[in-house]
C-alpha cells in the first residue's frame, strides 16, 4: 500500500468518477497472461486487494489503479547459444557470411520458438489519482513503466491529458539552491545524501551517502557540477531522494505515520487498507504541495 517511489503528473481535466463506467472501461483492458507466443502482456488488475474484484478502487477523493505486466524471460546467453549453430548452418548452406539483417531475422524466429519454454516474470505498477489536487502519482521511479501505465489509461478513457507535475528546468535550479541550504521547501530540511555530476560530456559524478551536506567538501562541488539527486526530510512525515528528472526515489514514511492505524489491526482488511490509503494520500499532499509551490515560484 505505501508507495516507495513516485513519478508525478498533473491531470489537466477531471477524470470520470462513475464507478460503473470506470469498471467497464478498464475491464476492456484487463490483464490476461501471456500466451505461448507472446513476449509481453499488460492490463489492469485489482489495485488494492486480490479479493476485491475491481479495477478502480475509490474512497473519498482518491482513485487507485494498478497495471500488471508479464514478460517472458529469455536470457541472452541462452538465445546466443541456440543461435550460433543456426547461423553457422545457414552460412554453410548459402556459402557466404550472413548479413546483420539476416542474423536478426534468424534471431527473431528463434525467440518465437523459445518463448513457450521461457519463464514468466510479473510486476504490478500502482497509481493514485488525487481528485482534490488533480495529481496522478505513479509508484515507480521508471519513466517507461509510468508511461506504460499512462498509455493504458489513455486507451481505457479515450484521453488523459497529463503533464509532469514538476518543471525539470526549475527543479535543476532549485536543487542547486537547496543543497546550499537556501530556499528549502517549507517544512523540509536536507537529508544526508546527494549526487552531483559535471555538465561536460564525460560527466564525472560524485556521491555522498550518510554525509553532512553542509560540509565544505560537499559544497565545493557546486562550483563545477550540477545536483542530480538530493535527499530531503519532512519532520515526522516523509523522507525521499528527489532527482533532477522530477522523479522521487526511496520514499519512506515516518514510523509514527505509517503505524498510525496499527490499533485497527487487520480484522477488517478493507477498512485497514482504506485507512492507510487515505493516510498516505494526506501525507503526500502535505509533502508535495510545498515542494511544487517552491519550484513553481522561481
Q: Which residues lie closer than 8 Å to 208 by C-beta, 6 or more apart? A: 192, 193, 194, 195, 218
- For the domain spanning 7-73+119-164, the CATH number is 3.30.310
* Residue 117 binned pLDDT confidence (cut-offs 50, 70, 90): confident
- According to DSSP, residue 117 is labeled G
Q: What confidence tens digit (pLDDT) does each residue in 84-104 have?
A: 988 999 999 989 999 999 999
How far is 20 from 24, CA to CA, in rounded Å? Answer: 6
Confidence of residue 256 (pLDDT cuts 50, 70, 90): confident
CB count within 10 Å of CB 207 equals 12
Q: What is the band of 262 on the pLDDT scale with cuts at 50, 70, 90? A: confident
In this predicted structure, the answer to whether residue 266 has a pLDDT above a threshold of 80 is no
Average pLDDT over residues 54-66: 93
Q: What is the pLDDT of residue 131?
A: 94
How sure is the predictor about 139, in pLDDT bands with cuts at 50, 70 and 90? very high
Measure the CA–CA gap between 93 and 85, rounded to whole angstroms.
12
pLDDT at 32 over 90: yes
Q: Residue 298: pLDDT band by 50, 70, 90 thresholds?
A: low
Contact 239, 233 (CB under 8 A): yes
Q: Chain-centre distance of CA 66, in angstroms? A: 12
Confidence class of residue 115 from pLDDT cuts 50, 70 and 90?
A: confident
> How much is the pTM?
0.86
pLDDT tens column, 67-86: 999 998 888 888 899 899 88
Distance of CA 69 to the CA centre of its chain: 13
Q: Which of 7-11, 37-41, 152-156, 255-259 has the lowest mean pLDDT?
A: 255-259
Domain boundaries, the chain: 7-73+119-164, 76-116, 168-296
The residue-averaged pLDDT of 152-175 equals 92
The pLDDT score that the predictor gives to residue 33 is 92
- Cα 279 → chain centroid: 20
Amino acid at each position: 500500500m505505501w508507495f516507495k517511489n513516485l513519478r508525478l503528473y498533473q491531470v489537466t481535466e477531471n477524470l470520470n468518477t462513475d464507478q460503473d463506467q470506470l469498471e467497464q472501461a478498464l475491464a476492456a483492458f484487463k490483464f490476461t497472461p501471456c500466451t505461448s507466443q507472446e513476449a509481453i502482456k499488460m492490463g489492469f488488475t485489482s489495485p488494492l486487494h486480490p479479493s476485491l474484484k475491481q479495477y478502480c478502487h475509490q474512497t473519498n477523493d482518491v482513485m487507485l489503479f494498478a497495471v500488471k505486466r508479464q514478460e517472458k524471460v529469455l536470457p541472452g546467453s541462452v538465445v546466443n547459444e541456440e543461435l550460433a549453430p543456426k547461423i553457422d548452418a545457414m552460412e554453410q548452406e548459402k556459402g557466404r557470411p550472413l548479413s546483420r539483417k539476416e542474423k536478426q531475422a534468424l534471431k527473431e524466429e528463434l525467440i518465437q520458438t523459445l518463448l513457450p519454454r521461457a519463464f514468466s516474470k510479473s510486476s504490478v505498477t500502482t497509481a493514485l489519482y488525487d481528485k482534490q489536487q488533480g495529481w496522478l502519482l505513479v509508484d515507480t521511479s521508471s519513466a517507461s513503466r509510468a508511461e506504460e501505465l499512462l498509455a493504458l489509461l489513455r486507451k481505457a478513457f479515450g484521453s488523459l491529458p497529463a503533464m509532469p507535475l514538476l518543471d525539470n528546468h526549475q527543479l535543476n535550479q532549485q536543487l542547486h539552491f537547496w543543497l546550499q541550504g537556501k530556499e528549502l521547501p517549507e517544512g523540509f530540511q536536507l537529508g544526508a545524501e546527494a549526487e552531483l555530476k559535471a555538465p561536460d560530456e564525460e560527466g564525472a559524478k560524485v556521491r555522498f551517502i550518510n554525509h553532512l551536506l553542509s560540509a565544505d567538501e560537499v559544497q565545493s562541488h557546486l562550483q563545477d557540477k550540477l545536483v542530480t539527486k538530493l535527499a530531503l526530510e519532512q519532520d515526522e512525515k516523509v523522507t525521499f531522494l528527489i532527482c533532477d528528472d522530477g522523479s522521487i526515489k526511496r520514499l519512506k514514511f515516518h514510523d509514527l505515520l505509517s503505524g498510525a492505524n496499527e490499533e485497527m489491526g487487520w480484522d477488517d482488511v478493507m477498512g485497514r487498507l482504506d485507512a492507510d490509503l487515505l493516510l498516505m494520500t494526506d501525507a503526500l499532499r502535505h509533502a508535495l504541495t510545498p515542494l511544487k509551490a517552491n519550484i513553481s515560484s522561481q
